Chain A
Amino acid sequence: DVQMTQSPSSLGASVGDRVSITCRASQRISTNLNWYQQKPGKAPKLLIYTASTLASGVPSRFSGSGSGTDFSLTISSLQPEDFATYYCQQSNYTPRRFGQGTKVDSK
């Protein structure tokens, strides 16, 4: 199975900060990598698919990049509603494993 490793596990940031989260796959997965955002008590929401394509309605301050084994999610200017936990997930192989999550909270 492909293992997904995110870093950091948590980070403190302020509104307006540029935030980056990385995700590494244990095998090459091309660009078959998705990002999800989850807020407390809510279901996850698709943010980015195939590494860099924004899902419908997602603000342009979110961006994704990478291919092969190394990927990143960047928030260009953190907004109050962006404090949440972010998960990467590979869609190249079954089972569709997730990373362990990165919690973005207030510094």
Chain B
Amino acid sequence: EVHLLESGGGLIQPGGSLRLSCAASGFTFSYYAMTWVRQTPGKGLDWVSVISASGHSTYYSDSVEGRFTISRDNSKNTLFLHMNSLRAEDTAIYYCVRDHFDSGTRSGDSFDYWGQGTLVTVSS
């Protein structure tokens, strides 16, 4: 059974840094691209970043480009999101998501498994 478990969320002051982790199990992690999607409490879904299966390709939304870094350790079946210069508008539940394909940008892809999310609150 596919399982994605996020950790690392919490309360952080504006301008601070945080690292989210996502431990994957139940599938061959190195075969799939992985994505972070966030959701402001009570609001809609916001695509944040994707990393290819190999880790060689990464993409970011304009709102986090230059501040967030996605990475993965395929030997440890773990996905990361390094978040710097955090702002109040980054407050959200962050979901770790498995892509159906390996590239992360292939047309026709879908998000077939989601973790339960970790809450990041940016506030002074």
Contact = CB atoms under 8 A, between A and B. Distances in A.
Interface residues of B, number: 24
Interface in B75-113: 95, 100, 104-105, 107-112
Interface residues of A, number: 26
Nearest to B116: A43
Contacts, number: 66
A86 B77 CA distance: 30
Contact of B112 (A1, A55, A95): A55
B108 A45 contact: no
A33 B4 CA distance: 24
29 contacts: A30-B107, A31-B108, A32-B107, A32-B108, A32-B109, A34-B110, A34-B111, A36-B45, A42-B116, A43-B95, A43-B116, A43-B117, A44-B37, A49-B110, A50-B110, A55-B112, A87-B45, A89-B111, A91-B109, A91-B110, A92-B108, A95-B59, A95-B62, A96-B35, A96-B109, A98-B44, A98-B46, A99-B44, A100-B44
Interface in A3-54: 30-32, 34, 36, 42-46, 49-50
Interface of B: 35, 37, 44-47, 50, 59, 61-62, 95, 100, 104-105, 107-112, 114-117
